[in-house]
Amino acid sequence: MSNRRVVITGLGALTPIGNNVEELWAGFISGKNGANLITRFDTENFNTKFACEVKNFNVEEYLDRKEARRMDLYCQYAIATATMAMDDADFDLDAIDLERFGVIYGSGIGGMETFENQTTNFVKGGPRKISPFFIPMMISDIAAGQISIKFGLKGPNYATTSACATSTHAIADALFIIQRGSADLIVSGGAEASITPMAIGGFNSARALSTWNDRYKEASRPFDKDRNGFVMGDGSGTLILEELEHAKKRGAKIYAEIIGAGLTGDAFHVTAPAPEGEGAFRSMREALRDGGVNPEDVDYINAHGTSTTLNDINETKAIKKLFGEHAYKLAVSSTKSMTGHLLGATGAIESIACILAIQNSIIPPTINLDEPDPECDLNYTPKVAVERNIDYALTNTFGFGGHNSTLLFKKYSE
């Protein structure tokens, strides 16, 4: 394992429960619910009529109007949170080697809204009605490119796309690249804006979304016996990863240390998790091995916890298999109960949840957990945030295709 330590020195967040990191954290600890009826399109013919939308986003706080028109909403979100994180890290970019400052940033779906709008233009008016900006607006790598362009960052630059594991894979890659010495700083995270007709319709057809239209505030209910599907969310999360000595030299504020990542594949099914949470078990195990941490040292797990039947049971089984009796002593929660499922952005937002939980010694709750599934018998921090010292925290994300990723964060100390 590399001797180069990696710390988090900047954060940015745009979510259904807060449009910056401070609002997000206040939402987490108060149990704020981000679910509402969809406002972006007419849902009359849809089985699901609600989601967790970002609210009151003003792109002109981050981009001029002309630039914004040439970006899909997901990319606008990415630019917004990258700007927040860069400001938070308080860089003097003139004093930094920008060739060693990279961007690894993902989106699970990319420019879905752009794709739908341009398809409509094509159907109505033929190929001449397709925008010249269609392709660069739609592709899922463009957020990484746009962040690099905006800040002049010339280090490693690429995107990850692995469904719900997208942004945890991006952060894991950023960790590995800094550890091996190929960069000193990396902007990393993910963005998603997929509350669109085709996305909602597609997930409805796959029977993945909750259809509790008359009880939408209660619909995202991870680990509850009455859960019946996830709730779509959108937004973005950005982290600045920085080599420790580089951070100390410039007097950076340090939120936490990232010390391990576990990456595995289920090799089982395109949407269903491997039986008994076998892939999730190995992902968490590898993160602990990578960080040199024993299972009994972990205090908190921010679970993938999607509110789908198979995921919640299998993740619980994986935790119990890896942690044994300690599984009942550590705290678990799913912040998706509040934000909904942000797909490719979810890992970044939940990494921020872990980092702030460590820093503030507070476990965010799992709201809407009225009666746990009998097969989900851990401490999921129901309803109310709990004060607890946290030295080590894990976050899990598992994506369609059998992509599993776990990150391990540590309370920073010299």
Q: What residues are labeled active site?
A: 164, 304, 341
Q: Which two tokens stand for residue 346?
A: 């979810």
In the three-class reduction of DSSP (H, G, I as helix; E, B as strand; rest coil), residue 242 is classed as: strand
Strands (E), 226-306: 235-243, 256-265, 300-302
> Across the strands, what pairs with 10?
240
> Across the strands, what pairs with 182?
none
For the CA atoms of the chain, what is the radius of gyration? 20
Rounded distance between C-alpha atoms, residue 209 and residue 201, angstroms: 10
Q: How far is CA 244 from CA 37, 91, 173, 336, in A?
A: 44, 15, 17, 31
Helices (H), 97-208: 112-125, 134-138, 142-151, 166-179, 197-205
**133: burial class by Cβ within 10 Å (0-12, 13-18, 19+)?**
middle
Chain centre to alpha carbon of residue 198: 22
CB 407 within 8 A of CB 395: yes
In the chain, helix, strand, coil percent, each to 5?
40, 20, 40
Choose among 332, 409, 398: nearest CA to 167: 398
Rounded distance between C-alpha atoms, residue 258 and residue 60, angstroms: 33
In the three-class reduction of DSSP (H, G, I as helix; E, B as strand; rest coil), residue 320 is classed as: helix
Choose among 193, 147, 202, 188: nearest CA to 54: 193
Question: To 5 degrees, how large is the angle CA 128–CA 147–CA 187?
Answer: 145
